[in-house]
Structures are given as C-alpha cells and as structure tokens.
Structure 1
Amino acid sequence: MRYGVIARILGLLMMLFSLTLLPPILVSLIYQDGQSLAFLEGFAVVLLSGALIWWPNRRNNMELRVRDGFLITSLFWVVLSVSGAVPFFFSSEPSMVFVDALFESVSGLTTTGATVLTGLDGLPKSILWYRQQIQWLGGIGIIVLAVAMLPMLGIGGMQLYRAEVPGPVKDSKLTPRIAETAKALSYIYVILTIACALSYWAAGMTLFDAIGHSFATIATGGFSTHDASFAYFDSSTIELIGSLFLFLSGINFALHFMAWNQKGPGQYIRDPEFRFYAGVMAGGCIITIVLLLINDVYVPLSSISKGLFQVLSVATTAGFGTGDFASWPGILPVMLILMAFMGGSGSSTTGGMKAMRILLIYRQGAREIRRILHPNAVIPIKLGNRPVSDRILQAVWGFFSMYMVVFVVLLMINLAVGLDQVTAWTAVVATLTNLGPGLGEVSSTFQTMPDLTKWGGMAAMILGRLEIFTLLVLFTPEFWRR
C-alpha cells in the first residue's frame, strides 16, 4: 500500500474542501447571523490539517494502484465527514455535540438528508446554506468532482473513479480521459442545478430558498431550509417542478451526456435501465394518485402534484416532504419506503440498490422459472441486444446478499437499544438507502435516537453511498496482503 501518496492526496483534497467553507462566511456576513467566526475557524482547522498531512508527502509522485483507490475513497469520505462537522461543532446556533455534528455532516455529504436538527426556520442563514451546499457537493461524488482537478496537481485519477462511481458499469468512460469524464458529469450537474434554481425562483421561492432547494434536489439529498420541507411553500407548481428535476436526477448521468451530444432523446428510449426506472416511477405515481383521489386526502390537483412529488422524492431517495406521507392511507407509506430500496439509475445522484441491479435480479428470477419448465434450455439474460455474463449476475447477487446482511445487522442493533420495530426498521432503510426520513420516531428527525443508532446510521450512510463493497473490502485479510 502506498501510504505516502494516499496521505498526499488526502491532504490536497482536505485543503480543497476547506475552500467550500468560504461561501458560508460570505452568507453569514450578508445576513449578519453571527456565525462567520465558526466557519472561519472551521476553514482554518481543515486547511491546516490538510496542509500538515500533505507537506511531509508533497514529493511523493507514485501512481495509485487499484487497492490504493479503494482505501483512499473510503478514507476520504470519513476524513471529509469529520472536516464537514467542524463548522457545526463550532457554531453557537445550533449548539451541537460532536456526534450530532458528525451525523449532520455525514448525512449531508452522502446526500442522505437525515437530520438531528429541528427549528430550521429559525436557524442562521449561513448554517442553512452550508447544509444545502454539502449535499450539492456530495451529490455528484466529491471525489469525482475533484478528479477533474487532480491531473493539474500531477495525480492520476482512474483508480479513484472506479472506486467511487456507483452502478454496474464502473469501467466505462464517457470520454477518453478520466478528467474529461469528471468535467462532463460536472457540467451536466451544474446546468441542471441552475435550471432547477431558476425554475423554483420563477415559481415563487425566494432566491435563497430556490438556490438551496436546487442544491438538494439535483443531489437528491432532501435537506430543506424549512421544517415543513416543500409543504412550507404550499404550491402545486413548485411540487411539479421538483418532480421533474428529481426524475431527471435519478437518470444515469452518462445518458444525459450522450443525449446532449446526440441532441436527441434516443439514448434514453433505447436504454433498458431507463425504461425500467421510468416504468417503476410511473407505476408508483399512478397507484399513489389513485389512492389519494379515492380516499379524498386532497383535492384532485393537489392529489396529482403531491402524489407525483412524494413518490419521486422518496423513490429517488431525496426524502423531501410535501405532507405527512406516513399517515397516507393503505399501502402507500410502506410502498414508498420499499421503492427507496431501488432508488434511481446507476451513475445518478440517488441512493438505493439501483434500478439496473433490481432489473437483473428480476430477469434472473424469471429465467429460473422458465428453466423449471425447460431444464436443458440455454436462456441468456439480455439488456437490450447484449447478453449479460454470469460474472455480472453473480456480482449483482453478491451485492444483494451483502446489502441484506448489513441491513439485518443494523436492524438488530437498533432493536437491541430499545427502538420499536417500525422505527428500527425504517431507520436502517432511511440511512442505508440514503433516503433520510423514515416512519415512526424517525419520520422527521433522528435527534432523539440513542448515540449507538446514530453511529450505526453514519456507518450505513457511508456504506450505502459507496455501495457496500468499496468499504467492506477493507475488512478482508486479502486486501492487506502484499
């Protein structure tokens, strides 16, 4: 393991991250909310810590290997989460103990959206801005964003990219060079964010709320500047705009890139994962809207706008609220929570297991049923016109198995500390799928949860963000053998 080059990169990235603490200082000065010192202290601590790690290793120019990439990816999320917690810990309002500050930071950077805070409407503007900002940075993957800059610093980035980018197509590139790939994804991300912010602003949000909610929408993060989340605005127009951009954010960003290059929607229509993702979302929206109309929960227009928004918000693991969906009738609360297990497409900003994996699991199950009737038949599984290798199918089932093992372990921990079954179950769903809110006592905040549940939740958020294997591989003896 090349620890010197790993330390060099970590130090550089920490120093780069420290620069993201400067915009909240400006916001604090504009609104005079008294938190500029907390962010200035945070900036100094993170910058100096990064410099101390980088300086002794500054001349280490060795290339990263694949194992180094996995280690630095996992370390980076841990180190950066601690760095992101510093301003929360130093702030006077809200006053947070370390575990709560770290929980909020991990939740933001992993775009989970679970929170330990209440009374958001009365919090300083700089704190609110910072929460939205760290979700925006986490949405595309801080390492993927930074990789665009690493070549300028003399550091190769493909190993980091393969360890960080979610989904079953880790080795594919949109452009020949990894830096260009990261830049292409970043441009799309920024364009969607600007379009979303302008749309929210035109629909009646203040500029501050429009920018903040566009950050969290495109990141499918779920943090809001108001306790009531999107229900605060009470606007069908805003809900419909949010639904559109949540749906777009759940699509594979590689498809956005290719559709942009070819100036047409053909890439979307031909992609089997997109068709499956769109079909699941459409089905969930139809069921939800019909049940809301039948039960007279809202007037017809509100049933449509709130139904669309809440399904897309939960299913894409954003976790915004436009009402108390936990009190909706029939199967709706559980159905929405279960949809979060899938999330969106691979290489999107969503959490969950990803639509591609669910599609492959379904098709393999269908194949096994057909094999019962035709035991000697050779029945390939295809995506589009391409057969899927058994190696990929085994990897998908391996991922699913480990996902369930982690889920059960975390569930047992939550039950052991005395949580009721609904709260314990959905607390794991909310963190492992990067959804944010759950049911029961975690429907709005994790503030009252025991510390062990919060620590387990933080581990689940990082595991979910790194899609299990990137982190779990570090705990295998083979990883550390020469």
Structure 2
Amino acid sequence: MHFKVILRILGILLMIFSITQLPPMAVSLYFNDGAVHAFAIAFFITLLTGFLIWIPVHQVRQDLRTRDGFLITVLFWSVLAAAGSLPLQLSESPHLSFTDAIFESLSGLTTTGATVMTGLDMLPESLLYYRQQLQWLGGMGIIVLAVAILPMLGIGGMQLYRAETPGPVKDSKLTPRITETAKALWYIYLSLTIACALGYWAAGMSLFDAIGHSFSTVAIGGFSTHDASIAYFNSPVIEAICVVFMIVSGVNFGLHFFAWRQKSLLHYFKDPEFKFYLTLLGVITLITFVALILNAVYEPLEGVRRAVFMVVSIATTTGFSTADFAHWPAMLPFMLFVAAFAGGCAGSTGGGMKVIRILLIIKQGHRELLRLIHPSAVIPVKLGRRPISDNVLEAVWGFFSVYLLVFVIMLIGLLATGLDQVTAWSAVGATLNNLGPGLGGVSLHYGDLNDTAKWILCLAMLLGRLEVFTFLVLLSPAFWRR
C-alpha cells in the first residue's frame, strides 16, 4: 500500500475541491444574502487542509495499484463529505449541526437527495445553489473528473476509474486512454446539463432555478430549490423536460458517447440493457396509471401526467416529486419504491443495483428453468448476441446477495434506534439506492430522525454510491496483507 502517494492525491483533490466554494461565494455576493463568509471560511479551511496533507509528500512519485485506488476512493468520498459540510455548519441559516451537515453534504455528493432541511424557499440563494452544485459534482463522480487532471500531475488514474465506475463490467473504456475517457464523459455530462438548463429556462423557470434544477436532474439527484420540488412550478412542459432528461441521464453514458461519435441513434435500440430499461419504465407507468384511474385518484389526463413523472423520477432514483406517491392507493407506493432497486443503467448517474444486473439475474433464472427440463444442455446466458461469462454472472449474484444482506443489517440497526418498520426499511432502501424520498416518517424529509439513524443512513449512502464492494473490500484482512 502506497500511503504517501495516497496522501499526495488526497491533498491535491482537496485543494481542487476548495475551488468549488468560489461559485457559491459569487452567488452570495450577487444576491447579497449574507452567507459569503461561510463559503470563504470553508474555502480556506479546505485549501489549507489539502495543502498541509500534500506538502510533506509532494515529491513522491509512485504508480497507483488497484488496492490504492479502492482506499483513496473511499477516503476521498468520506473526507469530501466533511469538507462539503463546512458551509452548512458555518452559515447562520440553516446552521446545521455536525451530523445534519455531514448527512446533507453526503446526500448531495452521492446524488441521494435525502434532506434534513426544510423551509428551502426562505434559505439564502447561495446555500440553495451550493446544494445543487454538490449533486452535480457527485453525479459522475469527482474522482472521474480528477483522473482527467491527475495524469498531468504525474499520477495514473485507471485504478481510481475502476474503483469508481458503476456496473458489473468495470474495464471497458470508451477511449484507449483513461484521461480521454474521463474528459469524454464530462463533455457529455456538461452538454446535457447546459441543454437541460436552457430547456427549463425556456419553459418558464428563472435562470437561477433552471441552472439549479439542471444540476440535480442530470445528476439524478433530486435536490430542489423549493420545498414543493418540481410541483412548485405546476407546469406540464417543465415536467416533460424533466422526464426526458431523467430518462437520458439514467442511460449508460457509453451509449451517449457512441451516439456523439458515430452521429447515430441506432445503437441505443440494439443495446439489451437500454431496451429493458425502457420496458421497465413503460410497464410500471402503465400499471401506475391504471391503478390511479381505477381508484379515482385523478382524471385520465392528470393521471397520465402524474404517473409518468413519478414513475420515471422514482425508478431512475432521481427523487423529484409532483405528487405525494407515499399516500397513493393500493400497492403503488411499494411498487414504485421497489422499482428504485433496479435504478438506472450501468455507467449512468442513476443509483440502485443497475438495470443490467437485474436483467442478468432474470436471464440466469430463465436458464436454470431450462436446465431443469434439459439437464445435459449447454445453455449460455446472452446479452443480445454476446454470451456472458460465468465469472460475470457469479459476480452479479455475489453483488445481489451482499446488497440484500447489507440492506437487512442496516434495517435491523434502524429498528434498534426506535424507528417504525415502514420508516426504517424505506429509509434504508432510499439511501442505499441513492433515491432520497422514502415512506412513513421520511416521505418528506429526514430531519426528525435521531443522530444514530442518520449516521447509519450516511453509511448506506456511501455504500450505495460505491456499489458496496468498493467499501466492504477495505474490511477484508486480505486487503491489508502484503
């Protein structure tokens, strides 16, 4: 383990992250909202901390190993959450406690969207902007951004990319060089953000709201500048734009890269994961619409509007709301919540277990049924025409098993803190899947939970963002052996 090079990278990344305090400082000065000192102090603390970590080891030159990549990924997200919480603790409004500030910061960076804050409409504009910016930075992973910069500083980045990238297959690169891969992802990400902001602005949002909501839409985050979320605007056009960009952001960014490079959309519809993703959204939307109409909750046109938006928002793990789905009739709240376990596609900004894993589990289940009928047959599992190796399938089942085991352990932990069953299991599911809103006592916000429960959920958000194994591998004794 190369601890010196890890410290050097951590120091550099903290100094880079300190720069992200400058835009909210500018927003605070523009609106004269009185919060500029919080960001100024946070900027200097983060910059100085990063510098003090970096200076003793700044001459160290070593290549990162895979183990180093896992450790620095977990360390950086943990340290980053602490650094990101500083303005929330230092500002006079809302002036969050240490626990609440860490929770809010980590929720933003992991694009979970679970909040402990209320009265958003009365908060300083710079704080509102800052929350949205946290989600935007976390959407594609600050480490993926950093690996486009670190090679210029003499630090290789493929190990970080492998540790950070979501999905069951982590070695596929869009371009031969990791730096070019990271840049390509961020160019696409930035382009989608600009397009989304322009769409919102043209549809009637203020420029401030348009930029803020584009940040959280493309990041699949769900933070809003208003307590009522997207329902505040009461605009079918804004909701339609939001739905389009939530769906697009939940797609594998590798497909967007090839669409840009080849100037063609055909490969989308040749991709099995993409087709299954759209099918899931379509089927769940249809069931939701029928249930809402049969229970006379909405008129047909209103039912279509609410069903489409809420299904896409929850299933992609965004977490925006235009209706209180937690109080919808029949099985709808539970069904929508379970849909978030699938989440977005691999290589997207969405959370959950990823659609491709669910698809592979279904395909393998179908193969096992066929094996009962034809015990001697050799039946490969295929995605499209490409057979999937047993190693990948075993990894998927391993991930699925550990994911559910972590869910159960954290659920028991929350129940031990005194929460009711609905609040406990939905809070764990909402944070582990990086969804945000839950059911029961966390359908609106998480501010009423006790501190112990919040720390458990912070761990759930981190595990969900790092897809469980990246964090759990650090707990293995074999990881620390030479």
TM norm structure 2: 0.99
Question: Hey, what's the Cα distance between the residues in 2 that align with 1:305 and 1:145?
Answer: 36
One-letter amino acid of the counterpart of residue 310, structure 2: Q
Question: Hey, what's the Cα distance between the residues in 1 that align with 2:48 and 2:180?
Answer: 30
Segments of 4+ moved more than 6 angstroms: none
Match of 2:475 in 1: 475
- 1:86-130 superposed Cα distances (whole Å, 9 cap, x missing partner): 111111100211000000000000000000000000000000000
Question: Hey, what's the Cα distance between the residues in 2 that align with 1:61 and 1:384?
Answer: 44
3-state secondary structure, aligned to 1:130: helix
Matched, 1:115 2:115: yes
Query: How far has the Cα of 1:461 moved from its partner?
Result: 0.3
Match of 2:381 in 1: 381
Matched, 1:241 2:241: yes
- 1:172-218 superposed Cα distances (whole Å, 9 cap, x missing partner): 11011100000000011011001111111111111111110000000
Where does the alignment leave 5 or more consecutive residues of structure 2 unmatched? none
Matched, 1:367 2:396: no
Q: How does 1:14-93 map to 2 (within 5 A)?
A: 14-93=14-93
Question: Hey, what's the Cα distance between the residues in 2 that align with 1:376 and 1:452?
Answer: 53
Match of 2:443 in 1: 443
Query: How far has the Cα of 1:261 moved from its partner?
Result: 1.0
- 1:192-245 superposed Cα distances (whole Å, 9 cap, x missing partner): 001111111111111111110000000000100000101111111111111100
CA contact (8 A) 1:239 1:306 kept: no
- 1:321-355 superposed Cα distances (whole Å, 9 cap, x missing partner): 11111111222111110000000100000000000
One-letter amino acid of the counterpart of residue 135, structure 2: Q
One-letter amino acid of the counterpart of residue 3, structure 1: F
Match of 1:279 in 2: 279
Query: How far has the Cα of 1:169 moved from its partner?
Result: 2.1
Query: How far has the Cα of 1:81 moved from its partner?
Result: 0.6
3-state secondary structure, aligned to 2:129: helix
Match of 2:100 in 1: 100
One-letter amino acid of the counterpart of residue 303, structure 1: G
Match of 1:176 in 2: 176
Q: How does 1:286-297 map to 2 (within 5 A)?
A: 286-297=286-297
3-state secondary structure, aligned to 1:112: coil
One-letter amino acid of the counterpart of residue 146, structure 1: A
One-letter amino acid of the counterpart of residue 22, structure 2: L
One-letter amino acid of the counterpart of residue 380, structure 2: P
3-state secondary structure, aligned to 2:208: helix
Where does the alignment leave 5 or more consecutive residues of structure 1 unmatched? none
Query: How far has the Cα of 1:61 moved from its partner?
Result: 1.1
Q: How many residues align?
A: 482
Match of 1:224 in 2: 224
Question: Hey, what's the Cα distance between the residues in 1 that align with 2:299 and 2:209?
Answer: 26
- 1:371-416 superposed Cα distances (whole Å, 9 cap, x missing partner): 1111111111001111111111110010011101100010001111
Query: How far has the Cα of 1:297 moved from its partner?
Result: 2.2
Q: How does 1:256-267 map to 2 (within 5 A)?
A: 256-267=256-267
Query: How far has the Cα of 1:55 moved from its partner?
Result: 0.5
Query: How far has the Cα of 1:429 moved from its partner?
Result: 0.5
3-state secondary structure, aligned to 2:283: helix
Question: Hey, what's the Cα distance between the residues in 2 that align with 1:205 and 1:169?
Answer: 39
Question: Hey, what's the Cα distance between the residues in 1 that align with 2:476 and 2:432?
Answer: 21
Match of 1:158 in 2: 158
Matched, 1:188 2:188: yes
Question: Hey, what's the Cα distance between the residues in 1 that align with 2:446 and 2:37?
Answer: 27
Matched, 1:300 2:312: no
- 1:272-308 superposed Cα distances (whole Å, 9 cap, x missing partner): 1111111101111111222223333233332222211
Matched, 1:409 2:414: no
- 1:414-437 superposed Cα distances (whole Å, 9 cap, x missing partner): 111111110011000010000001
CA contact (8 A) 1:318 1:435 kept: yes
Question: Hey, what's the Cα distance between the residues in 2 that align with 1:422 and 1:302?
Answer: 28
Q: How does 1:308-327 map to 2 (within 5 A)?
A: 308-327=308-327
CA contact (8 A) 1:240 1:308 kept: no
Match of 1:268 in 2: 268
One-letter amino acid of the counterpart of residue 347, structure 1: G
Matched, 1:452 2:444: no
Question: Hey, what's the Cα distance between the residues in 1 that align with 2:260 and 2:305?
Answer: 28
Question: Hey, what's the Cα distance between the residues in 1 that align with 2:17 and 2:304?
Answer: 41
TM norm structure 1: 0.99
Query: How far has the Cα of 1:450 moved from its partner?
Result: 1.1
Question: Hey, what's the Cα distance between the residues in 2 that align with 1:230 and 1:212?
Answer: 12
CA contact (8 A) 1:236 1:302 kept: no
Identity rate of aligned residues, in percent?
63
One-letter amino acid of the counterpart of residue 461, structure 2: M
